[in-house]
Amino acid sequence: MSGKLPSAPASTSVAAPLAAAPGTGSSAAVEDYLERILELINTKGYARVIDIARSLGISQASVTNMVQRLDAEGLLNYEKYRGLALTTAGETLARNITRRHQLLTDFLKLLGLPDDVIFHDVEGMEHHISPPTLRAIEALTLQLRRQPALLSRVVARESIAAASKEETAAAAEGENLSL
């Protein structure tokens, strides 16, 4: 055996190139906006500047500036006072971002991490993870789902390691207190 995990078929892989529109650079902010816009469209049927601002907790003026930028970059069509719609390129990018976010969330949930830790970690990782690393996580997630016994061993080792770190930290603190 080569030691490599099998990868998922390329057509379903979330690690496929993100097909960013020219000039976007696909920054974390752009990705966050596209992800949120797609989420709003999927839940409400539409996305307006005011909805995006409320959802992200930022000013409408900031959202308007970004929406105009995304319009100029061909990721959405925006008409003032009328709303916006993702272009094919924008929707493709947003769906890839959403799948990447979901894969990372699913992987960390498999490991038994608390939801607040998962949320924080995924928000930090999702914009900086490389396609090869994402493919490896995707393959590992698939294998862990197919092999519950392996998942149990991995989660048990993580629990033991976490308990050991807590005990070590508590012991070290106890030593500092007794000095």
Q: Which domains does the chain have, with CATH numbers?
A: 28-93 (1.10.10.10), 98-178 (1.10.60.10)
How many of the other CB atoms lie within 10 Å of CB of 5?
15
Q: What is the pLDDT of residue 80?
A: 84
Q: What's phi and psi for 114, nearest 5 deg?
A: -65, 150
* Closest residue by Cα to residue 75 from 7, 25, 127: 25
- For residue range 112-151, list pLDDT tens digits in order: 999 999 999 999 899 899 999 999 999 999 999 999 998 8
Who wins on pLDDT, 13 or 158? Answer: 158
Label residue 153 by pLDDT band (50, 70, 90).
confident
Residue for token digits 């993870």? 129
Task: State the pTM of this model.
Answer: 0.71
Joined together, the tokens standing for residue 6 give 């099998």
